[in-house]
Amino acid sequence: MAVRRSRLNKRALWEARSRRRFRGITTKTFNRFDDEDIIESDVAKSITSALWSENTSTLTTFFTSSTQTASAAGAYQYEVYSSNPQTNASASVQFNIAWGHYAGSGSSTGSGASDQGNTPSKAVYTAFANQLLAAGDDKFTIDSVDQDFMYFLCVGRERFKEKMNPNGWQLNLDCGSNTCHLIDDSRYNSEGSTNGNRVYNIISGTLAAGQSNTTTKHGLFYPDLGIVALAHKTINDAATLGDIGDPSPDNLCAAGTYTDQVKAFYTAMTSSDGSYFQGRAEEDISSTHYFVRVKNSEYNFSNNPTFSNTVGTLQNSSMVGDPSVYITTVGLYNDENELVATAKLSKPLLKTFAREATIRVKLDY
């Protein structure tokens, strides 16, 4: 009977021993996160920042473009800059000023309107009423009184990011021989809601001292829209304050005889006693924490040409059997191996076969 002998595959045995001997000595590129390695925050944090360009919280100088104010567009609104657009090509609009009348009064025939229903003041009032008021309501009501004419300040969308910070803005107006200081009442009263928009009342006071002695409401503040809506008549009727613009606008005025209400408000903002508009932007930031776990057998080699040559031999003979590398950057990739985020370490982290590491990456969005 023939004896069956096993055949030894010496090459396979050698390769297996080699693999055991050099297990982990590879240049690994990716590691997939396990479920427990990713922690998403349940609560978004509110972060505030400067409202205006160049990380500025307070504007004390204001400019308009003569090209815009002298055109037909100037009858509807003024675009206000923090630097002179005539001399600074990079100047950007910070906010707009508009004035509207419920019936279309106060505009000039020079605007091209043939009757009150076609005037810029009518178009402005109607546009803001449609956006801000509840369905079926066509007049702004301030302190339980319907207001026929209103001023509107609209902060640039890129300026306030997600919303303007309630209790974080103050506007000064020069009213005759007095200065009117305006803030919202968010520190005293809870928010209201109209047409799906949060709204606060605008009152007299300063951010430093709070509400003034008077409890008169001067307008409405919509933080999520960056809109300050001021009742023209209420401001002018406030005790000890002078008038801004024409307190009793006529019907349709002849060209050259009407009061430019937007210009009057801009003048009140830019006078020596005014010239102050402070504000902060606000946004809710969510965070996700990624725990990058680097085991002792991983990421101990580098593809850098100074580390090894083209055939894989280490350039530094002292690293043979005990290489050392430094982790400086962590990259986060999607399933298509596309880099979507990078995280820089504050200082290089030594990595060897005798060292493991856990790096926490915080991603805010």
DSSP string covering 30-74: --PPPGGGEEE-SSPEEEEEESBGGGBSEE---B--HHHHTSGGG
Question: What does the pLDDT profile of the chain (365 residues) look like in tens digits?
Answer: 555 544 545 555 555 555 544 444 455 678 889 888 888 877 678 889 999 999 999 999 999 998 888 787 888 999 999 999 999 999 999 999 999 999 988 887 666 666 777 889 999 999 999 999 999 999 999 989 999 999 999 999 999 999 999 999 999 998 767 788 999 999 999 999 999 999 999 999 999 999 987 788 999 999 999 999 999 888 777 644 556 777 777 665 656 667 888 998 999 898 867 789 999 999 988 889 999 999 988 887 777 777 776 666 676 766 677 788 889 999 999 988 899 999 999 999 998 889 999 999 988 87
Count CA atoms closer than 13 A to 296's CA, side-chain side: 5
- Considering only CA atoms, give the Rg of the chain: 33
H helix count then E strand count, the chain: 6, 22
Distances (CA, A) of 235 to 179, 211, 241, 311: 11, 15, 8, 81
Count CA atoms closer than 13 A to 55's CA, side-chain side: 0
pLDDT in tens, 45-84: 888 999 999 999 999 999 999 888 878 788 899 999 999 9
Burial 334-352 (b: 16+ CB within 10 A, else e): eeeeeeeeeeeeeeeeebe
Residue 112, classed as helix, strand or coil, is coil
Q: For residue 252, what pLDDT is reported? A: 57
Q: For residue 110, what pLDDT is reported? A: 63
Burial 249-269 (b: 16+ CB within 10 A, else e): beebbeeeebbbbbbbbbebb
Q: For residue 73, what pLDDT is reported? A: 80
Distances (CA, A) of 264 to 99, 128, 247: 10, 20, 11
Please state, as a whole number, how many other Cβ atoms lie within 10 Å of the Cβ of residue 88: 12
End-to-end CA distance of the chain: give it in Å, rounded.
78
Q: For residue 25, what pLDDT is reported? A: 47
Q: By the 8 A CB rule, do 216 and 203 touch?
A: yes
Count CA atoms closer than 13 A to 337's CA, side-chain side: 3
pLDDT in tens, 194-205: 999 999 999 999
Name every residue whose Cβ is closer than 8 Å to that of residue 328 and which is 6 or more positions away in sequence. 344, 345, 348, 349
Q: By the 8 A CB rule, do 218 and 182 touch?
A: yes
Domain ranges within the chain, ordered by starting residue:
21-42+286-364, 49-282
- CA 333 – CA 53 distance, rounded (Å): 33
Tell me whether residue 29 is exposed, middle or buried, using C-beta atoms within 10 angstroms of its C-beta: 0 to 12, 13 to 18, 19 or more: exposed
Please state, as a whole number, how many other Cβ atoms lie within 10 Å of the Cβ of residue 198: 16
Residues 342-345: contacts with CB under 8 Å, at least 24 apart: none
Q: For residue 10, what pLDDT is reported? A: 54
Locate 193 and state its tokens. Answer: 């809601």
- CA 218 – CA 214 distance, rounded (Å): 11
Q: For residue 134, what pLDDT is reported? A: 94
Locate 233 and state its tokens. Answer: 């008549």
Phi, psi at 47, each rounded to 5°? -120, 130
